[in-house]
Amino acid sequence: MTVLENKVSTGSMVIACYVDQWIDEYVDNLINNEYNRKRNLLKYLKVSKTNKRDCLPVIEACDKFRNELHGVLVEKDPDLIEGYSFLSDAKLKKLSIFVDELCSDLRIYTLRSSKKKKRSPEVMLKKFKYMELMGNVESFDPSELFACKSFIAYNTKTNELYYYETTEQFTITGTTLHGFDSNASYCQKVRRKTKPVTEFTVGTVGRVIKEMDKIKTKKNLCTGRFNINTMLLRVLS
């Protein structure tokens, strides 16, 4: 039944063998008027943790077989009718329903979402690096990153001020921040003689944003990378 097109993965071949075997057994039982037990392809795919992409060639082959059965039952194609003359219309309908169920299981499996295990803040911050203190300026607790929508950071070595914003949630892998909006986030050089770091740590959020707007140096893209020279200056929202 499942004639796979072109070169396919070993995983696809394994699935196709299972499907072929089940269909062959189903047809044999129809011919011999024997009981056909229920097959659960979806359960097999889940238990074996089949790669979703491996299912795609098998779905394509199943669809071709379904179209062939449709040609017999509905379109009454004379050549196809002759090829399936060993089965009555009633048995062909049962076979068609069985193949539909297999195709449905394959499609459901490829569309099911893979739920990733949510990592705790402690795990995400395990390798995260930042500067805790510079003079009398202290970084905010990095665990606050996972509850905020925007914040500013400062690299004491390059004199760059970073503004990070997210529409979802910040996450961290190693020493890299993820989940920030690359269009809204930016970094700028700050001249510390004219704009000391403390200007961004005191006063209201509105005042801090005004001070940031006064910086006229070029805005560059953020990379999300942090190190021991980077201070977490302030949560803005």
pLDDT digits (tens, 9 = 90+) for 119-157: 889 999 999 999 999 888 899 999 999 999 999 999 999
Please state the separation of Cα 227 from the chain's center in Å. 28
pLDDT at 110 over 60: yes
Instruction: Give the pLDDT score at 194.
Output: 53
* Sheet order of strands, 150-155 included: 186-189, 160-165, 150-155, 230-235
Instruction: Give the mean model confidence (pLDDT) for residues 201-223.
Output: 88
Instruction: Give the mean model confidence (pLDDT) for residues 81-110.
Output: 88
Identify the band that residue 185 occupies on the pLDDT scale cut at 50, 70 and 90.
Answer: very high
pLDDT at 170 over 70: yes
Instruction: Give the pLDDT score at 116.
Output: 61
Distance separating alpha carbons of residues 185 and 165, to the nearest angstrom: 6
Q: What's the pTM value of the predicted model, to 2 decimals?
A: 0.53
Tally of helices (H runs) and strands (E runs) in the chain: 7, 8
Q: Return the percentage of the chain with pLDDT > 90, whole number.
A: 35
pLDDT digits (tens, 9 = 90+) for 66-92: 888 888 887 788 888 888 888 898 988
Tokens 């509905």 correspond to what residue? 74
